[in-house]
Structure 1
């Protein structure tokens, strides 16, 4: 355990299993976190996540700009929409997929999870659209 405050400079990115780049924030890898991670995601116009879930870890999302459409649940059959300023909660293990429906605007959001590792609990799932 450390008693040091860590600043993670902006601009560092990594490719996520979800199918796009994340801006590295707080995690075990960047700051030595033991109980959470928090990152910025910027999803391009028309892009979507690879369907996935986070086993054993909850997620919280804050939409900064753009509109987030989400598919979730069994076969990703349920739908949700979040606008700038909205908070989204995803229970542990729930299959989900984020979609940016805009043709012109990036979707920008802060993501926090109870998994302190950047990608450890990400489990990719088949895309029902490709089945």
Structure 2
């Protein structure tokens, strides 16, 4: 197989990562597989980068599950109905986020980016994102140091 985008053919596409964009939730994404890029009907996959010290906006993905594989760096994530739970994931670890679960991921490092591969059951790159700004006020940032 060659690298790069191939002429659309039924059944298989090879796609180079495309130019980054900042999603509604605040992350930098490099879309690869999606309804927009290849006509996917049920999933999308993309690269995520969280620059040093950055965090997303509190959000959820309405009716869609998310799977993440951390390639490099260490990310923290507040999650739950009131962002009351906290988890940490680093390089080589997988993360699962159930549909409709509020979450707020962030980069724990001030010097190293977090890079991850994300797959979601929503074929559209941003359609299921629901911002939850009211939840951000109650985040216990002291847990980020745990």
Shorter-chain TM-score range = over 0.9
Q: Distance in 2 between matches of 1:75 and 1:110?
A: 26
Is 2:10 the partner of 1:3? Answer: yes
- 1:9 aligns to what SS in structure 2? coil
SS state at 1:29 partner? helix
Larger radius of gyration: 2
How far apart are 1:86 and its partner, in Å? 0.4
Structure 1 match to 2:42: 35
Equivalenced residues, count:
130
Aligned mate of 2:89, from 69, 82, 87: 82
- 2:5: which partner in 1? none
Unaligned runs of 5+ in 2: 1-8, 139-146
The aligned runs of 1:10-89 (5 Å cut-off) are 10-89=17-96
CA-CA distance at 1:129 after TM superposition: 4.2
Q: Is the 8 A contact 2:53 2:108 kept in 1?
A: yes
- The CA distance in 1 between the partners of 2:75 and 2:27, in whole Å, is 15
Instruction: Give the Cα–Cα distance (whole angstroms) in 2 for the partners of residues 47 and 127 of structure 1.
Output: 19
Query: Whose relative contact order is higher, 1 or 2, with alpha carbons under 8 Å and at least 6 apart?
Result: 1
Contact 2:57 2:136 survives alignment (8 Å)? no
- Residues 129, 54 of structure 1: alpha-carbon distance in 2 compared, 3 angstrom cutoff: closer
Q: Which whole-Å deviations, capped at 9, do the CAs of 1:14-59 have from their partners, x for residues lacking one?
A: 2200113200110000011001000101110000011100011000
TM normalised by structure 1 equals 0.93
Q: Which runs of 4+ in 1 moved over 6 A?
A: none
Question: Which residue of 79, 94, 102 corresponds with 2:101?
Answer: 94
Please report the TM-score for the alignment, with normalisation by the length of structure 2.
0.84
| Structure 1: 5+ residue stretches without partners | none
